[in-house]
Amino acid sequence: MNVTPDLDARFRAAAIGAGVVDVRYDLVDSPVGELRVAATEHGLCRISYFADGWEDALARQFGVRVLRSPLDDVRRELDEYFEGKRRSFDLPIDLRVAPFHADVLRELALVPYGRTETYGALAAKAGRPGAARAVGTVMNRNPIPIVLPCHRIVGASGALTGYAGGLEVKRALLQLEGAILE
């Protein structure tokens, strides 16, 4: 006896409406692959390029009441970004990271669309000059890539260095923004 899509959707909506979900998530198609996006009642909390262990990771950090449910605002802003119609995001953010990570990610959020910044320069802005390597770790663990634009951070030589979603994705995002040429 299979649950119909309509009944399923009604349950998910009722669950969100009842305010008893710790974290909800959705899947969003994009030119750089299928993205997993998650939000708490406070705002967007995760974006991931990977399916493996996704729900378990959400459960560990935000609580076991994990439920898939449409995140229309997130989907719309990401769609607009990938269509080149949006240069910054207006989504509320729920950032749960250690203080140093929070400082760095706050500065990261200020790096403008279409520009790049070096790890060292970002470290200096976050009040930790010389901590380029630590900033690299923060970028690598960025819970909300794309919206917190770690793809705009490059090596001192201008080399793209690394990206959690893969270098080709980093290159694609910078090309989309016009920060680098083909």
Catalytic residue annotation: 150
- Among residues 26, 43, 67, 118, which is the contact residue for other proteins, using CB under 8 A? 67
Give me the phi and psi of 2, to 5 degrees please: -90, 140
Residue 148 binding other proteins, by CB under 8 A: no
Nearest residue to 47 via CA among 19, 78, 70, 21: 78
Nearer to other proteins, 19 or 130 (CB): 19
Question: Cα dist. 19→24, 66, 67 in Å?
Answer: 11, 12, 12
Residue 9, interface with other proteins (CB under 8 A)? no
Task: Return d(Cα 10, Cα 107) in angstroms, integer.
Answer: 40
Residue of 55, 64, 37 whose CA lies nearest to 144: 37
Does 15 participate in binding other proteins (rule CB under 8 A)? yes
Residue closer to other proteins by CB (options 3, 167) is 3
Please name every residue paired with 43 in a beta bridge, in sequence order, or none if there are none: 40
Is 59 a binding residue for other proteins by CB under 8 A? The answer is yes
When the beta carbons of 55 and 79 are compared against other proteins, the nearer one is 55
Distance CA 57, CA 170 (A): 23
Q: Which of 35, 58, 132, 174 binds other proteins (CB under 8 A)?
A: 58
Instruction: Tell me: does residue 27 bind other proteins (CB under 8 A).
Output: no
CB atoms within 10 A of CB 139: 25
Binding segment (CB under 8 A) for other proteins, from list 11-19, 126-134, 155-163, 168-176: 11-19
CB-side neighbour CA atoms (13 Å) of 100: 13
Q: Is 157 in the site for other proteins (CB under 8 A)?
A: no
Tell me if 68 contacts other proteins by CB under 8 A.
yes
Taking the CB of residue 109, how many other CB atoms lie within 10 A of it?
Answer: 15
* Nearer of residues 5 and 130 to other proteins, judged by Cβ: 5
Which residues of this chain interact with other proteins, rule CB under 8 A? 1-3, 7-8, 10-11, 14-15, 18, 20-22, 55-56, 58-59, 63-68
